[in-house]
Amino acid sequence: MRRTASPLALILLGLGVFLIVLAPMLVWYVEPQAKRTPIDVNITSVFKGKGKYFDQQELKTKSDQKLTVTRRVLGDVAASEKTGHAVWDVSQTIDNPKTSKLDDPRKSFQWTTERLVTDRETNKPVDCCKLRPKDISGEAYLKWPFDVEKRDYIWWDSTLGGTVPLRYKGEVKVKGHEGLRFSGTVGPTRAGTRQVPGVLVDRPRSGQVNAEEWYSNSGLDFVVDEATGRILYAATGPKMVLRAPGGKTDKVTLLQSDKLAFTSRTQQEAVDLAKDDNGMLTLVGTAPVATLSAGALCAIAGAVLVIRGRRPTPPPAAPGQPAAV
């Protein structure tokens, strides 16, 4: 009696082979695609703290003032899709009690804009798409690379206009989510010039002078999600001062704070995004194993059913004999 494979057996066998073939594709293509810097970002981070700032109307430095730093990162999706890089436009304002009420970046105490372009896999800066400033370098800025290592990293400090080494300080939790901490400092460094009345820098007979701007930072502190490189917590201790041309001493404190840090809300938003990203990476990472296992089971079950058959087919009846029923 001849046997034939049932439709179920063929379906299981075909599905098993498909899943077995799909598993390596998930490993080689889908998972690497998941570990790529997003391009459709729209994130606002807020730092708050107390410090000093120079009041240009009263021509004096005011102390113990509330300071707010607001940084917005907006992805240029069109440019990103065209080039294959992550293109982010960055706008950052620093506000004191007077300017924070104006809700206009042009009227803030300080407003800066940048255009960051990075390789979506390595996170390294790429010179294209009107990158601004042109000399951005380092390993980390608005985020760390994926799969952050427990080692020191080179950080790009936009105020300094250069890189700063950040030391790995161990693991720490932010809002219950574990991350890796990195810290560093910046010694007094000349960062540019600013035209001011000479009297401000003890040059009363010089009229307007090109005073030297000097920058330092008492504490750069970051906590980073290990898998995604997303910054969960950030704090900075900036100090900007003016010196007379060629001078060795600080004459005017433009801005100073011992600590400006992510607000609780900004920390929670960063943690929530990191958890979502981690969940997606975990799903993509485990999918190949699950797919291969399911494929093997389906293929084995289908093969067994094909071999055994599901419906016996009766032999043809001999001449003059009734057909078997």
Which of 220, 112, 113 lies closest to 163, judged by CA?
Answer: 220
Kindly give the confidence (pLDDT) of every residue in the chain, 325 residues in length, as a single tens digit, with 9 standing for 90 and above.
Answer: 455 556 665 565 565 555 555 555 544 445 555 678 999 999 999 999 999 999 988 888 999 999 999 999 999 999 999 999 999 999 999 999 888 888 788 889 999 999 999 999 899 999 998 888 888 999 999 999 999 999 999 999 999 999 999 999 999 999 999 999 999 999 999 999 999 999 999 998 888 899 999 999 999 999 999 999 999 999 999 999 999 999 999 999 999 999 999 999 999 999 999 998 887 766 655 555 555 455 556 556 656 666 666 455 555 555 555 544 4
Distance, in Å, from the CA atom of 87 to the CA atom of 117, rounded to the nearest integer, reads 5
Whether 234 contacts 244, CB under 8 Å = no
Do 69 and 266 form a contact (C-beta atoms < 8 A)? no
Bridge partners (DSSP) of residue 134 are: none
Q: What are the Cα distances from residue 166, in Å, to 73, 150, 222?
A: 23, 11, 9
Beta strands in the chain (DSSP E): 2-4, 42-55, 60-75, 86-95, 110-118, 153-157, 162-174, 177-197, 208-224, 231-236, 238-243, 252-257, 260-262, 311-313
The pLDDT of residue 2: 52
CB-based burial label for 153 (10 Å; 0-12, 13-18, 19+) = buried
For residue 35, the model assigns a pLDDT of 79
Residue with tokens 């190949």: 288
| Nearest of 304, 296, 284 to residue 20 by alpha carbon | 296
pLDDT of residue 22: 54
Q: What residue has token string 């020191």?
A: 152
Query: Radius of gyration of the chain from Cα atoms?
Result: 31
Largest CA distance in the chain: 132
CA distance 70 to 108: 10
